[in-house]
Structure 1
Amino acid sequence: MADPLRPLLAWDRANTPPVVLFEPGRYLVSDAEIARTVLASTTEPFEARAATLGAVADWIPGSEKSRPVNAAIARELDTVLRSLPQERITEELRVAMDGEAWPSAVSDLYLRLFGDRLLPDLSPSARKALHRALSLSNRRDRDRSATVAFRRRIAHSRAEAALHRWASARDGDTGFQKAVHDAVGSMDDVALVLHGLIGALCRATAMVLAWCVLLDSGWRVGMPAGATLTRGEPGDPVENRVREALRLWPTAWLMSRKVTTPIDVGGVALSPGERLFLCSFLLHRDPQVWNDADEYLPKRWENPPQGYKSVYLPYGFGAAACVGSRFVNQATAKILECWDELPARKIELLKENPVMGPILAPPEFRFAGSQV
Structure 2
Amino acid sequence: MTTVGEPDQVVPDEARPWPRGAARHYRRDPLGFVEQAARARGPVFRLPDDGSLCVADPVEALRILHDEAGDYDEVSGFFHVGGGLLGPRATQAAIGRAARTTLRAHVAAHRERLPAVVAELGEVSQWPSAGRDAVHRFLAGALLRPDSPPALRELMAHVVRREVLIRPSGRLARVSRRALWARVVRTIAAEVRHRRPRPRPGALPDASPPGPGDLLDAVIGATPPETPAEHVAQVYLLLFRTSIAPVGHVVAWALLSAAADDVDLAAVPAGSAVRESLRLWPVAWLLGRPVRRAHQVGGVPLEPGESVSVCPYLLHRDERHWPQAAAFRPERWDGSEPRGPYLPFGGGPFTCAGAAVAQTLATDLLAALTDGARLEVRAGPGRPHVEGIITPPPFLVRRTARRT
The TM-score range, normalised by the shorter chain, is 0.7 to 0.9
CA contact (8 A) 2:98 2:222 kept: no
Q: Which residue of 2 aligns with 1:253?
A: 285
Contact between 1:256 and 1:276, CA under 8 Å: does it hold in 2?
yes
- Cα distance in 2 between the residues matched to 1:93 and 1:51: 35
- Mapped to 2, the partners of 1:241 and 1:77 lie a distance apart of 22
Question: More deviation in 236-245 or 183-192?
Answer: 183-192
Q: 1:337 aligns with which of 367, 372, 386?
A: 367
Specify every segment of 5 or more residues in structure 2 that has no aligned partner in the other structure, as ranges. 1-25, 197-206
Q: Which residue is equivalent to 1:367? A: 397
1:67 paired with 2:93, answer yes
Which one has a bigger Cα radius of gyration? 2
The structure 1 residue matched to 2:224, chosen from 174, 184, 195, is 184
Work out which of the residue numbers 125, 138, 150 in structure 1 matches 2:151.
125
Q: What is the percentage of aligned positions where both structures have the same residue? A: 24
In structure 1, the partner of 2:73 is 47
Please tell me whether residue 78 in structure 1 is matched to residue 119 in structure 2: no
Distance 1:199 1:33, change over 3 A: same
CA-CA distance at 1:244 after TM superposition: 0.8
| 2:208 aligned with 1:208 | no
Q: Normalising by the residue count of structure 1, what TM-score does the alignment of the two structures yield? A: 0.85
The one-letter code sitting in structure 1 at the alignment partner of 2:270 is V
Shift of 1:267: 0.7
Which 4+ residue blocks in structure 1 deviate beyond 6 angstroms?
369-372
Q: Which residue of 2 aligns with 1:145?
A: 170
Q: Within 2, Cα distance between the matches of 1:294 and 1:251?
A: 17
**Residue 320 (str. 1) matches residue 350 (str. 2):** yes
Is 2:76 the partner of 1:36? no
Residue 327 of structure 1 aligns with an amino acid whose one-letter code is V
- 1:184·1:190 contact (CA, 8 Å) conserved in 2? no
Unmatched tracts of structure 1, length 5 or more:
221-229
Deviation at 1:268, TM superposition (A): 0.7
Kindly tell me: are residues 48 and 363 of structure 1, through their superposed partners in 2, closer, same or farther at Cα, counting changes over 3 Å?
farther
**Alpha carbons of 1:108 and 1:184: their partners in 2 closer, same or farther (altered >3 Å)?**
farther
The one-character-per-residue Cα deviations of 1:178-229 (angstroms, maximum 9, x if unpaired) are 564343322222212211111101112221111122223x226xxxxxxxxx
- Cα deviations by residue, 1:153-172 (Å, 9 ceiling, x for unpaired): 11212222222233333335
- Aligned-partner residue type, residue 277 of structure 1: S
Within the alignment, does 1:300 sit opposite 2:342 as a pair? no
Deviation, structure 1 residue 335: 1.2
Does residue 263 (structure 1) correspond to residue 298 (structure 2)? The answer is: no
Shift of 1:359: 0.4
Note closer, same or farther for the CA distance 1:342–1:294 as it changes in structure 2 (3 Å cut): same
State the one-letter code of the partner of 2:244.
C
1:261 CA drift (Å): 2.3
Q: How far off its partner does 1:98 sit?
A: 5.9
- The alpha-carbon deviation at position 299 of structure 1 amounts to 0.7
| 2:241 paired residue number | 199
Residue of structure 1 aligned with 2:188, choices 163, 170, 180: 163
Report SS of the residue matched to 2:47. Answer: strand
Deviations 1:210-252 (A, max 9, x none): 1122223x226xxxxxxxxx88351111111111110111121
Seen in structure 2, the aligned counterparts of structure 1 residues 129 and 277 have a Cα distance that, compared at 3 Å, is same
Q: TM-score, normalised by structure 2?
A: 0.78
* Counterpart position of 1:224: none
Matched, 1:287 2:319: yes
Task: For residue 99 of structure 1, report the CA deviation from its aligned partner.
Answer: 7.7
CA contact (8 A) 1:31 1:283 kept: yes
* SS state at 1:92 partner: helix
SS in 1 for 2:114: helix
Counterpart residue type for residue 212 of structure 1: A
CA RMSD of aligned residues (A): 2.9
1: CA distance, partners of 2:159 / 2:219: 25
**CA gap 1:119/1:155 in 2 versus in 1, 3 angstroms:** same
**Residue pair 1:208, 1:332 contacting (<8 A) in 2 also:** yes
Name the structure 2 match of 1:219. Answer: 260
Determine if contact 2:255/2:377 at 8 Å carries over to the other structure. no
CA contact 1:77–1:327 (8 Å) conserved in 2: yes
| Structure 2 Cα separation of the partners of residues 210 and 108 of structure 1 | 12
SS at match of 2:287: strand
